[in-house]
Amino acid sequence: MSATRTGNASVLSHALKDALIAAIVAFGLFMLLLGFLTDDSRGPLRLLSRPVLLATTVGIVFVGRFLISLLYYNAAALRYYLGELWTAICNFAREFKIALLVVLLLIGGGWIFFSPKDWPLILITVATILIGVRFGFSAALLVFAALFPVAFYNNPYFLGIAIIILTYVMLGWGLNIVVGLAGLLDLGYVAFYAVGAYSYAIIAQAYGWSFWVCLPLAGLFAAFFGILLGFPVLRLRGDYLAIVTLAFGEIVRIVLLNWVSFTNGPNGIGSIPRASFFGIPFNATDEGFAAKFGLEFDPTHRTVFLFYVILALALITNWVTIRLRKLPVGRAWEALREDEIAVRSLGINPTNTKLTAFAIGAMFGGFAGAFFATRQGFISPDSFTFPESALILAIVVLGGMGSQIGVAIAATVMTASFELFREFEQFRLVIFGFAMVGIMVWRPRGLVSTREPTAYLKERKTISVEHVAEGRG
């Protein structure tokens, strides 16, 4: 133990030395290149010095080199230090549970004392941490999501972002069935999102049926399109499958764009009926939600309602996926990802297995699409372009194919960071790209790259990633 510790200490000092040398070299290189600037814009030629730029560059080289030598060459050492830190935190939490509780209550109490207006936020923070310590990360996330509108009731901007995040969580979970479980690479998932949205918009406008009637219909239509896509690609694998699904996504978008009489083409469909609270609309009239429940009219009611609708839809997706994994059909999906020939030798119909994966994945995409349409009130083919498919696929891949919690985290991080970097408009995609490359180098199989077995004889052991296949179509 002490041997590794000294070993790791020497690794740290070695990395520091390494970084220092790199910084000196960078200084020598950039001193003249970046440190000085000749300028003749105002009068005679002048020599300007730029010490801040030089220092920043050298600093970046130092930190970068340090991280590289630690991360890349000495990943084991880094993991050791992080592991030590995490163990220490866990031990502390375990040993001083009551102390932790007191500290939390003190911090919370103090916070309320100084800014009483924030009490809901504090409440859910404390609740989340307590639930997290007792029941684990997933439960904490669930409690946080359920209490979110309480804390941010006065912040429609946050609520809006949360709704977008949950939509992508749901889309990620839907695609996860196809890509993560069945191992079928689908680059055109947004097509099902579009089919759901347009089905809802057109049916709701034409027949005036309520959201709750149109929602299952939208899901059914999307599932039907899933089967429609499934049939021609049954015999394709890997890259070929990816190309055809990509084309399918484009075909759906182009049809929506050009079938003007039906979809109103590039102008999109506007004034889509809003979702109602089981028949009670959210408006300022006497028949509205606020009046019926004796509240003052507030547009946030609708937003909160939408939040809970998408939360419920996402949780249904999650629940169904978790159940399906433990049923023969889910096991057949995973087996298909592992080895299709062996699947056939066991008398499992690979056609049905693939089609159910496509159909069920597409159905959840359709639900999400219907929700999108009712939330926006306006849809056009512009919302269903290829980058959207790529984003959803990125969420699944980054999250760790097949992992529910990983996909949820990835969706949250990606969608939230898109909002976070809104100020750096033109750099958004660059940052996004770097983050992707970074994660793929650091964790080539996604954030959560282990697999939970669906049944066990004696004990449930998590399966490490090297055994699990990625699926070749």
Partner 1 sequence: MTNAPILSLQNLTMRFGGLLAVDDLSFDAKRGDITALIGPNGAGKTTVFNCITGFYEPTSGGIHVTHDDGKKFSLEKLPDFKIAQRVHVARTFQNIRLFAGMTALENLLVAQHNTLMQASGYTLFGLFGLPGYRKAEREAIELARDWLERTQLTDRADDPAGSLPYGAQRRLEIARAMCTRPVLLCLDEPAAGLNPRESDELNVLLRSIKNETRTSILLIEHDMNVVMEISDHVVVLDHGKKISEGTPDFIRNDQKVIAAYLGVEEDAVEEIEAEVGL
Least Å distance, CB 145 to partner 1, is: 24
Query: Percentages helix, strand, coil for the chain, rounded to the nearest 5?
Result: 75, 5, 20
Choose, by CB under 8 A, the member of 348, 390, 416, 435 that binds partner 1.
348
**Nearest distance, CB of residue 343 and partner 1, angstroms:** 8
Q: For 140-155, b where at least 16 C-beta lie within 10 A, e where not — what string?
A: bbbbbbebbbebbbee
Q: According to CB under 8 A, which one of 345, 423, 425, 426 is a site residue for partner 1?
A: 345
Report in angstroms how near the CB of residue 329 gets to partner 1 at its nearest: 5
Site for partner 1 (CB under 8 A): which residue of 68, 101, 350, 378? 350
- Whole-number Å distance between alpha carbons of 28 and 178: 53
With both helix axes pointing from N to C terminus, report the angle between 428-442 and 386-399 in degrees, rounded to the nearest 10.
30
Q: Which of residues 437-456 bind partner 1 (CB under 8 A)?
A: 451, 453-456
- Can you state the angle between helices 190-207 and 211-233, rounded to 10 degrees? 140
Residue 235 binds to partner 1 (criterion: CB under 8 A): no
**For residues 42 and 467, which CB has a smaller minimum distance to partner 1 in the complex?**
467
Query: Which segment (103-111, 205-213, 347-355, 362-370) binds partner 1 by CB under 8 A?
Result: 347-355
When the beta carbons of 419 and 470 are compared against partner 1, the nearer one is 470
Q: Is 469 in the site for partner 1 (CB under 8 A)?
A: yes
**CB atoms near residue 169 (< 10 Å):** 29
Interface mask (CB under 8 A) for partner 1, residues 325-344, using x and -?
--xxx-xx-xx-xxx-xxxx
Those residues with Cβ within 8 angstroms of residue 228's Cβ, 6 or more apart along the chain or in another chain: none
Q: Residue count at the site for partner 1 (CB under 8 A)?
A: 40
320 part of the interface to partner 1, by CB under 8 A: yes
Element (H, E) at 39: strand 36-39
Contacts with partner 1 in 50-89 (CB under 8 A)? none
Report the nearest approach of partner 1 to the CB of residue 340 (Å): 10
Minimum distance from residue 473 beta carbon to partner 1 (Å):
16
194 binds partner 1 (CB under 8 A): no
Q: CB atoms < 10 A from the CB of 218, how many?
A: 31
Contact 356, 153 (CB under 8 A): no
- 124-to-104, 120, 302, 433 alpha-carbon distances in Å: 12, 6, 22, 33
Residues forming the site for partner 1 (CB under 8 A): 320, 323-324, 327-329, 331-332, 334-335, 337-339, 341-350, 356, 451, 453-461, 463-464, 466-469
